Structure 1
Amino acid sequence: MTAVFDPVMKEHLRRIKDHVTYTTYLGCKIQNELIQMLASEVRKTILAKVRRAKYFSIILDCTPDVSHKEQMSIVIRCLDDSESSTKVEEYWVQYLEVDDTSGLGIFMHIKNALVNLDLDINDIRGQGYDNGSNMKGRHKEGIILFLEEFREDGYDKAMVEAKEMTCEMGIEAVFQEKRVVRRKKNNLVKLQLTDDEVLLRSCKNLESSLTHRGCSDISGDDLFSELTFLKCSLPREAKTTIDVVNYLKKMDGCFSNAQIAYKILLTIPVTVASAERSFSKLKLIKTFLRSTMSEERLNGLAMLSIEKEVTEQLDYTDLISIFSSKIVRRVAF
């Protein structure tokens, strides 16, 4: 089936049928070895970026797979400053089969996973979870129907029916009539409008929040001094947080506290959408016909699919050398 779309595979199968070669490398063991080798290289690339960023956040969500096993999706959010421009990235790491979904159970699973990934749990600066699974029964179904109605027929009609629905459910129908739209101020304007006393207090509070075992990522006093100077030196083009981080990066450590503070700000997750999206891959990979798939193969295939952009950047020449050197092969590559 693959040969229909892949000329390399097509030629490989032709050589086998014509008895030009007798070594196929199409067995399940070879497949698993190739999958794990590729996935391992992708994971190494991702973890190297996470360690380079130092600070990261974890995003978690759980769902049962086709074999009724609870799978927890782990996503890591960090800043990738390996290029000239800093980017906020969310990398999928793995599915983890969990048998205890309590707070303590999930914590222990995460702790063990981070140890296996060689990531320091003390570098976590944010966490994201989905509590939607706690909403069950007819209330959940009613809200889903309301959202569908909102999407299809617009706000006004859906709002009328939503009020009727809340009356039937015994919930007070209080809705905001119109959302007040406020134009966002850019970073420079916000910084310039902040009173020095308020700014100093905020810097002190941030230092306290980032203090662990007597050590803090920043100094509140130094951060206040740096931000006070930034009020005058920050270019007007720096309108977003990313723009500020890129500017501070060019200053080569002159604003070390401000740089750390902005990095942590961008590291904190605002949604768990990345974990939710990974479940669509889970359902495509582990289907009814593949319900006995091992966890290792599942994670390998998911890594290559979800992190496709990283996979495409791999050096396949080196991978072929690694593959051929692991075990004595029948064919020299």
Structure 2
Amino acid sequence: MIELLAEFDPIMQEHTSRILQGETHYHYLSHKIQNEMIQLLAQEVKGLIIDRVKDAKYFSFKLNCTSDASNDEQMSLVLRCVNVSESPIRVQEFFIDFLKVYDTSGLGLYNKLVEALNVHGFDIDNIRGQGYDNGSDMKGKNKVYHVSKLLQSEDMQIDIAIRELKGLPSFLQNYREVGFQDAMVEATEIANKMEVELIFVEKCVVHRKRQFDESTGEDVTQSAEENFKNNYFLYIIDQAISLFSTSFEENFGILWNFEKLKAIEPEKLRTFCNNLVNITIYGENSDLNGDDLYEDLCMVCRNLPEGINSVIDVLTYIKEMEGSYPNAWIAYRILLTIPVIVAYAK
């Protein structure tokens, strides 16, 4: 490759000529030098990413454990933040590192995470969300090893950076009707690649003797596929809809539902603001003030231009006001920082 470049670059041509004629022994073409240059470039890119996350202040992390080619357990670390230093404002996620993991318990993963964040100089108090794959043992145990009053991410949620939040319930409801067939198609493709047969095993039906006072009507018998659809697939979708409606929407829904924000009663809005302060508080400190947030949202409602229909648009408008709504500015950044989908190491 160097010789090919030398055909078009006179400086490289002179360099290779001196090497071939023995005029220099420092050619910088060994694999060690190449690896060092790659490492320097990687450090530069990582440094830019770390600076961007620090500039955003609030961030979330997502962890995923998997085995590498040598069967050593490693954990991928992904950070999510709202980049407000550039225009347009963007929600961004960055891969930071693969971390060698020797203890896959909840405490072990926690210690490894804290160690990695400290190495890169991140302030743990600025964490506002977390997400894990199903294989990580940390979820469910993090109440013991809690970090910065983290906001829990639930299984089976959709990334707000991919889909508008106000479209989620209808999306999930539609997916409930047509998603099973889509899932079956994908499962069939996976089964074919693995050269296995996709079948639903029928369980042996045990008929018990009826008592004299029981109804004589026939019981409805479902096929194995129908049983899977009704008792597993649809159950998960219904849980997702319920969790979204009762958890995320309850805590943040007013921020992205602009019609509801404009129509809400003052006392209910004040209650919402105080609740938001409570769930984002760490120790005795919070970056939000309930009364100030209430005033900010009231002003935003009155002054928000026509045509704004997304959270990013609202955040952009608040940024253009140059500090007029400081608490609303923080609340919307936290909203977009929270991850609602788990990480995958691919």
Q: Same fold (TM over 0.5)?
A: yes
Partner of 2:123: 120
Is residue 94 of structure 1 aligned with residue 97 of structure 2? yes
Q: How does 1:30-45 map to 2 (within 5 A)?
A: 30-45=33-48
**Rounded Cα–Cα distance in structure 2 between residues aligned with 1:23 and 1:4:** 20
Aligned residue number for residue 219 of structure 1: 289
The alignment yields a C-alpha RMSD, in angstroms, of 3.7
Equivalent position amino acid for 2:186 in 1: E
Alignment of 1:75-90 (within 5 A): 75-90=78-93
Aligned to 2:279: 209
Query: Conserved in 2, the CA contact under 8 Å of 1:188 and 1:234?
Result: no
Aligned to 1:255: 325
Aligned pair 1:200/2:270, yes or no? yes
1:74 maps to what in 2?
Answer: 77
User: Does the CA contact (< 8 Å) of 2:79 and 2:96 recur in 1?
Assistant: yes
* Secondary structure of the structure 1 residue equivalent to 2:314: helix
- 1:10: how far off? 7.7
- For structure 1, the 5+ residue unaligned runs are 135-143, 153-159, 281-333
- Distance in 1 of aligned mates of 2:187 and 2:5: 41
* Residue 45 (structure 1) shift: 0.8
- What is the aligned counterpart of 2:106 among 103, 107, 111? 103
SS at 1:58's partner residue? strand
Q: Number of residues paired by the alignment?
A: 257
Distance 1:69 1:132, change over 3 A: closer
**Corresponding residue SS for 2:121:** coil
Q: Structure 1 pair 120/268, CA: closer, same or farther in 2 (3 Å)?
A: same
Residue 79 of structure 1: how far off its partner (Å): 1.2
- The residue aligned with 2:250 is none
- Aligned match of 2:337: 267
Greater helix fraction, Structure 1 or Structure 2: 1
- Say which SS state the counterpart of residue 217 (structure 1) adopts: coil
Percent identity of paired positions between Structure 1 and Structure 2: 41
The residue number in structure 2 matching 1:23 is 26
Looking at structure 2, the residues matched to 60 and 210 of structure 1 have their Cα atoms a distance apart, in angstroms, of: 21
Q: Which amino acid aligns with 1:148?
A: E
Which deviates more, 258-267 or 227-236? 227-236
The aligned residue for residue 228 of structure 1 is 298
**Counterparts of 1:10 and 1:53, CA distance in 2:** 42
Report what 1:292 is aligned to.
none
Match of 1:148 in 2: 186
| TM-score, length-scaled by structure 1 | 0.66
- What is the CA–CA distance in structure 2 between the aligned matches of 1:26 and 1:167, rounded to whole Å? 66
Q: 1:72 to 1:117 in 2, by over 3 A?
A: same
CA contact (8 A) 2:200 2:224 kept: no
- Unmatched 5+ residue regions in structure 2? 138-181, 191-197, 204-221, 242-252
Q: Which has the higher mean CA deviation after the structures are superposed, 230-239 or 110-119?
A: 230-239
Deviation at 1:212, TM superposition (A): 1.3
Could you report, residue by residue, the CA deviation over 1:188-230 in whole angstroms, capped at 9, with x for unpaired residues? 3232133333222111111011111211110111111111121
Give the distance between the partners of 2:2 and 2:55, measured in 1 at CA: 38
Cα separation, 2, equivalents of 1:106 and 1:244 = 37
Work out the CA distance in 2 between the residues paired with 1:92 and 1:125. 17
Q: Which residue of 2 aligns with 1:188?
A: 258
C-alpha separation in 2, matches of 1:197 and 1:150: 53
